[in-house]
Amino acid sequence: MKGDRILEIRHLSKTFGTNLVLKDIDFSVSSQDVTCIIGASGSGKSTLLRCLNLLETPTTGEIMYHGTDIADRKVNAPQYRSRVGMVFQSFNLFNNMTVLENCMIGQIRVLKKNKGAAQKNAMYYLEKVGMAPYINAKPRQLSGGQKQRVAIARALAMEPEVLLFDEPTSALDPQMVGEVLEVMRKLAEEGLTMIIVTHEMAFARDVSSHVVFMAGGVIVEEGPPKSIFGSPRERQTQEFLSRFMHG
């Protein structure tokens, strides 16, 4: 239900060797939140999402998903990822499979659906992102924007509770950014819970319910988009945003 707590991150830290890249991160996500994470390159945004998706193991701290710590070794990662899915900057489609097969494989392997049910569901989500006419295409025949829409449909076909996006439009030619953001905007309106790392500030301002600004591995400031973009309290946030808005 809207507002129910889904994820709660407590005192999360991550080191690579001697490099402390996340320092004591605390934040939480509730049902139907659209959280945008902004911040300069190297601030730890991807590492945070990768910890949430079990692609990295936190060094210390907890990531509670409905009250269970997912850093626990007993958690089944593919199963968990079907609940908390991820869309990557570089699409990560299987290039030897068609668009339709890309959207079926996870359902068959992880959710143990039969082919017919997986196909029906894949078609539904490909329709939703406007990619139904391309079901038999291979990824190499598609534009970047089309590939990313397929990647979103593939993630949606698992019917996740939360979808994580790591700079979903950063690898795209400028004319393709809009079509992907439009799909994401629609998902937000439908109430999908999302955590989105992005440099698209207008999108973050218009679509998010919550904005997190990170720098140097810490959360410097967070709040509703109106206050982060309209009247940021911290000097670091002000400087980041003014650099962004004025090039």
Ligand X SMILES: Nc1ncnc2c1ncn2[C@@H]1O[C@H](COP(=O)(O)OP(=O)(O)O)[C@@H](O)[C@H]1O
Which residues contribute to the site for Mg ion (CB under 5 A)? 46
- State phi, psi for 107 to the nearest 5 degrees: -65, -40
Residue 114 site contact among Mg ion, ligand X, none (CB < 5 to 8 Å, cut-off depends on kind): none
Which DSSP letter does residue 125 get? H
- State phi, psi for 154 to the nearest 5 degrees: -60, -45
Residue 233 CA to residue 117 CA, distance in Å, equals 50
Binding to ligand X in span 45-104, by CB under 6 A: 45-47
User: Quick one: which of 42, 191, 224, 230 contacts ligand X (CB under 6 A)?
Assistant: 42
Shortest Cβ distance from residue 236 to ligand X (Å)?
14
Shortest Cβ distance from residue 116 to Mg ion (Å)?
38
Residue 93 CA to residue 139 CA, distance in Å, equals 7
- State phi, psi for 32 to the nearest 5 degrees: 75, 5
Residue 21 site contact among Mg ion, ligand X, none (CB < 5 to 8 Å, cut-off depends on kind): ligand X
Residue 130 CA to residue 233 CA, distance in Å, equals 40
- Using CB under 6 A as the binding criterion, the count of chain residues that bind ligand X stands at 11
Q: 21 vs 104, which CB is nearer to ligand X? A: 21
Q: Given the rule CB under 6 A, which of 41-49, 57-65, 107-115, 178-186 is the region that contacts ligand X?
A: 41-49
Q: Given the rule CB under 6 A, which of 13-21, 120-128, 173-181, 202-210 is the region that contacts ligand X?
A: 13-21
Q: Given the rule CB under 6 A, which of 16-24, 89-97, 156-164, 220-228 is the region that contacts ligand X?
A: 16-24
Asked if residues 204 and 175 have their Cβ atoms less than 8 Å apart, the reply is no
User: Quick one: which of 41, 73, 114, 246 contacts ligand X (CB under 6 A)?
Assistant: 41
Shortest Cβ distance from residue 67 to Mg ion (Å)?
29
Shortest Cβ distance from residue 235 to ligand X (Å)?
20
Edge to edge, what strands does the sheet with 5-16 contain? 19-30, 5-16, 60-65, 68-69
| Residue 16 is a binding residue for ligand X (CB under 6 A) | yes
* C-alpha distances in Å from residue 185, one per residue of 25, 85, 203: 27, 17, 8
Q: 111 vs 218, which CB is nearer to ligand X? A: 218
Q: What radius of gyration do the chain's Cα atoms show?
A: 18
Residue 207 CA to residue 188 CA, distance in Å, equals 7
CA 167 to chain CA mean position, Å = 8
Q: 46 vs 107, which CB is nearer to Mg ion? A: 46
Q: Please report, as ranges, the residues that interact with ligand X according to CB under 6 A.
A: 16, 19, 21, 39, 41-47
